[in-house]
Amino acid sequence: MKSFRQAVEAGDHAAVEALLAEDVVFTSPVAFRPYPGKAITAAILRGVTRVFTDFRYVREIVGADGRDQALVFTAKVGDREINGCDFLHFDEDGLIDDFTVMVRPLSAAQALSAAMGAQFDRIAAEAAGGDRNSGG
């Protein structure tokens, strides 16, 4: 099985989704409430790939027991440079059960919020079982 980082860097949406636990909770840097569930989390992550350009992980930090991981990234949202971190927790089966994203600076977070807001109807449709394979 690919690691999460390998799957993201390869643009392998199916492998990313396969690494998510059914009860994963996704905490967005731009939404007040977390999103529970594999379908919505996978759809959000596909949406992010349509919004980010020049995405790359620049550092990986792994907890002593291997169940916590922080992946530091850079990307662009429109003309804004964004820095962020994906905080992952893996359950006893090796699946991601908690996924939190933090980003900076504020101007880039605001650009991300607007870009993801524009994607949200499509994200909701994908999560409900619509077109899941139309990455970008």
Per residue in 15-51, pLDDT (tens digit) is 999 999 999 999 999 988 999 999 999 999 999 999 9
H or E stretch at 21: strand 20-27
Domain that includes residue 84, residue range: 4-127
Give the global pTM.
0.91
The CATH number of the domain holding residue 43 is 3.10.450.50
Asked if 77 contacts 51 with a C-beta cutoff of 8 angstroms, the reply is yes
H or E stretch at 81: strand 80-90
Asked if 100 contacts 84 with a C-beta cutoff of 8 angstroms, the reply is no
pLDDT tens figures, 80-133: 999 999 999 999 999 999 999 999 999 999 999 999 999 999 999 999 986 555
> What is the structure's pLDDT at 32?
87
Residue in 72, 52, 49, 51 with CA at minimum distance from that of residue 60: 72
- Residue 55 in domain: yes
CB contact set of 82 (below 8 Å; sequence gap of 6+): 52, 74, 75, 76, 103, 104, 105, 108, 109, 111, 112
- Residue 136 in domain: no
- The total number of residues shown for the chain amounts to 136
- Residue 123 in domain: yes
Q: Is 77 exposed, middle or buried (0-12, 13-18, 19+ CB in 10 A)?
A: buried
Q: Is 29 exposed, middle or buried (0-12, 13-18, 19+ CB in 10 A)?
A: middle
- Residue 54 in domain: yes
> What is the structure's pLDDT at 133?
52
- Residue 134 in domain: no
Number of domains, the chain = 1
Whether residue 72 has pLDDT greater than 70: yes
- Residue 115 in domain: yes
